[in-house]
Amino acid sequence: MRFDRPRSRRHAIFSRLQAAGCAAVLAAALSLGSAQAADQGPRHHAQGQYDPATAGYVVAPGDDLIEIGKRFGVSVTELKEWNGLASDTIDAGQTLKVAADTSASAATAANQYKMTTEIAPGVATPDTLETSIGTLHLRDGVPQSDTIETIYDNLDRSRALQAYLLAIPMVNQASMRDSLRQYGPDNQTDVIWEDLVDSKTVELTANDNTIYNFIWVDTHEGPVVVEIPPKSLGAIDDFWYRWVADVGITGADKGAGGKYLILPPGYTGEVPEGYFVVRPSTYGNWVPFRTFLVDGSPKPGVESVKKTLKIYPLADAANPAPVKFANASGIPSNFVFPGDYSFWELLNQVIQEEPSAGSDPTTLGLFASIGIEKGKAFEPDARMKAILEDAAKIGAATARSLAFKMREKDAYFYPDSQWRLPFFGGYKFEVSPGVANLDGAAFFYFFATGVTPAMEEKMVGKGSQYPWTALDANGNPFDGAKTYKLHLPRNIPVKDFWSVIVYDTQTRSMLQTDQRFPSVSSQNQDLQVNADGSVDVWFGPKAPDGKASNWVQTIPGKGWFMILRLYGPLEPWFDKSWRPGEIELVK
C-alpha cells in the first residue's frame, strides 16, 4: 500500500491544528488514513489475517474477492478500486486494502465540528445488514451497487405480488366479460341457464337452485337500459367489482320488476323519468340476476325472463332490438379467470379502457410501478416479465391460503368452529370504515362472484346467507376418499329454501363427478328428513346405505369444500340460536 498521500494530509492537518492550539483534537487527527473495516471473521475462501490498524488483509491460499468482500461488508468493485486491480486475480501473501481511507476519518472528524450533535438511535443505517433477502452493503448510509440491484428486484417482486392481489377483482370481471362475449354482443345478450347451472359450467361457486342470468353492459356509447323481470334477485357490479345497486327483490323495484337506467361515468346529459337511475364509476358493468323454481320447475322463471327482460341503449328506447338468449345449461364452459401471465394482460385491458377516477391513486400507482398504466403500452422486459410470472404464481398460492386457512378469527361465524363468513369485512371489505380489509377482498374475489349487501347484511326473510367451510370438525381439509356427515338441526331458519353444494378446491366450481348437480337441497322432493325434523347430509365416494338422496359424491385423491345456502334467512340464523353442526368424519 502507498501511504504518501495520507502522510501529506496528516502533515497539513497537524499544521492547522497546532496553529489553532487544539491539543485534544490533534490527538484524534492521528487516526486519519487508518480506516477500520467491519471484519465478520474468517470464512471459506477468506481465511487470511487482518490488521485493523492499517485495514490491511493478507490473502491466504484459496481466497477469492467475493468471499473477502462478504467478510468485510464491501463489494468486489470496491476491493478492485482500492487496490488497483484490473482483474479478480489475487495471490497468496498479497496485502489488500479492505476499507476506504475516509470511513474511519469521517467518523472521527464528525466529532470535530462546532455544530455536531449526537445522532439519535435508529437514524443511521449500519454498513452491513443481514436481512431475509441477503446481506445488504452500504457505505456511510449509501447502498452499494450490488445491494441496489438486490433492493430493486425485491421492490418489484413485492409490488407485483400486492398488485396481483389487488387486481383479482377486476381480472375476475374481465374474464367474465370475455366469456360472456363468446355467447353474444354486449348490451344485447342474456346468458341464461334455463335448466340450471350444472357441473359442466366452470364458474366460481355457482348454485344449482336458481335460474342464473348474466348480462354485460357497456356504456361507452351512451346510457343503457335493463328491464329486470319481476320476482328476480340480482345486482349491478362495476368493472372494479364494487357493488353499485341491487335489482329485483332487494332492489329499487322490490321484486315487481322495473327499468334500470345505467349511465356512463361523468354523464351530464338529460335523464328521463320512469327509470331507476344507476351511476357506476366504470363503463363496463356486470348485471347478474336469478329467478326461482316454481314447484321444483325452472320453466316458469325462464318464461318470465324471456317475456319481460329487455336490454337496449337509451337512444333505442322507442324501438329496442330483441334480446339474444343463450342457454348455457349442460354446455362445457369456463367463467374462471386465469392465474398465469395472461392475468396481467387482462388487467392491462381494464386499465386502458376504464377511467382512472373509478379506482384510487395507490392501487393505480402499484399497477403503474409494474408497467401497467393508462395510455402507455404494457411491454415488460425479460427481467420484469419473469418477476410478473413469479408474482402470479405466488399470488395464486397466497389467495388460496387466505381462502382455505384464514388466520383471522373474525373470519368465522362461531368460536371454535370451521364455519366461515363469505364476506370478511362486509361487502365493502373493510376492517373499519374507510380501512380496507385486504385479505377479505383477495379471498372473496378469488373464490366467488357477485357482490351485494343482500348477501351479507341482516335482511330477515330476504336475500341470502352463505356459511361455508373447507375443513372438518377437527380442522382438517376434506379428503375425497373419506365419508363425512353434516347434521342440520330441525327448524332450519329459512323462509324460502336451503341447499348444500360441493365445490372443487382447484376450480372453485362445482365438483365434477357422476352427479350432474353435486348438491342436496330442501327443494329436492326425495330429501330424507329425520323424525325430529333435522336433516343429515352425507359426503363421500359412495353413498351410505339408504342415503343416496341426501348424499353428495366426492372423488378419492381430490379435495373439496362446501357452501350452505340459506334463502330468506330468518331471525334464528342471525341471533345464532340455530347453528349447523360441524362436518364430522365418519369412521
> Mean pLDDT by 10-residue block, N- to C-terminus, for the chain (587 residues)?
41 42 37 58 88 85 90 87 88 88 48 83 91 94 94 98 97 97 97 97 95 98 98 96 95 97 96 97 97 94 98 96 97 94 97 93 96 97 97 96 88 92 85 92 92 83 89 96 98 96 98 97 95 98 97 98 95 96 96
CATH number at residue 565: 2.60.120.600
- Asked if 560 contacts 511 with a C-beta cutoff of 8 angstroms, the reply is yes
CATH number assigned to the domain comprising residue 264: 2.60.40.1610
Q: Is residue 227 part of a domain?
A: yes
Residue 186 sits in the same domain as residue 312: yes
Residues 88 and 234 in one domain: no
Domain boundary, last residue among 282, 310, 334: 334
Q: Do 287 and 251 meet the contact criterion of CB atoms below 8 Å apart? A: no
> What is the predicted pLDDT for the residue at 11?
44
Nearest to 532 by CA among 482, 577, 486, 490: 490
Which residues neighbour 205 within 8 Å (Cβ) at sequence distance 6 or greater? 447, 448, 449, 501, 503, 508, 509, 563
Say whether 213 sits in a helix, a strand or coil: strand
CA–CA distance, 276 with 565 (Å, rounded to integer): 29
Q: What is the 3-state secondary structure (H, E, C) of 133-179?
A: CEEEEEECCEECHHHHHHHHHHHHHHHHHHHHHHHHHHHHHHHHHHH
Confirm whether 53 is domain-assigned: yes
Do 121 and 18 sit in the same domain of this protein?
Answer: yes
Domain boundary among 289, 312, 334: 334
Confidence (pLDDT) at 53: 72
325, part of any domain: yes
pLDDT of residue 101: 61
User: Is residue 504 in a domain?
Assistant: yes
- 167-178 per-residue burial string, b: 16 or more CB within 10 A, e: under 16: bbbbbbbbbbbe
Residue at a domain's end among 334, 359, 390:
334
Residues 430 and 510 in one domain: yes
Q: For cell 363469505, what's the residue? A: 422
Residues 320 and 420 in one domain: no
Same domain, 93 and 190: no
Does 111 lie in the same domain as 189?
no
State the residue range of the domain holding 15. 4-127
Structurally, how many domains does the chain consist of? 3
Distance CA 484, CA 475 (A): 13
> 417 with 547, same domain?
yes
Distance CA 569, CA 491 (A): 12
State which H helix or E strand residue 500 sits in.
strand 494-504
497 is a domain residue: yes
- φ and ψ at 337, to 5 degrees? -70, 155
Q: What is the signed CA dihedral for 234, 239, 244, 246, rounded to 10 degrees? A: 0
Task: Give the domain CATH number at 24.
Answer: 3.10.350.10
Q: Is there a domain that residue 176 lies in? A: no
State whether 116 and 209 are in the same domain.
no
pLDDT for the residue numbered 50: 87
Residue 397 falls inside a structural domain: no
Q: Tell whether 99 and 228 lie within a shared domain.
A: no
Residues in Cβ contact with 367 at an 8 Å cutoff, skipping those fewer than 6 apart: 163, 167, 347, 351, 373
Query: Is there a domain that residue 445 lies in?
Result: yes
Same domain, 233 and 299: yes
In this structure, the answer to whether residues 216 and 309 fall within a common structural domain is yes
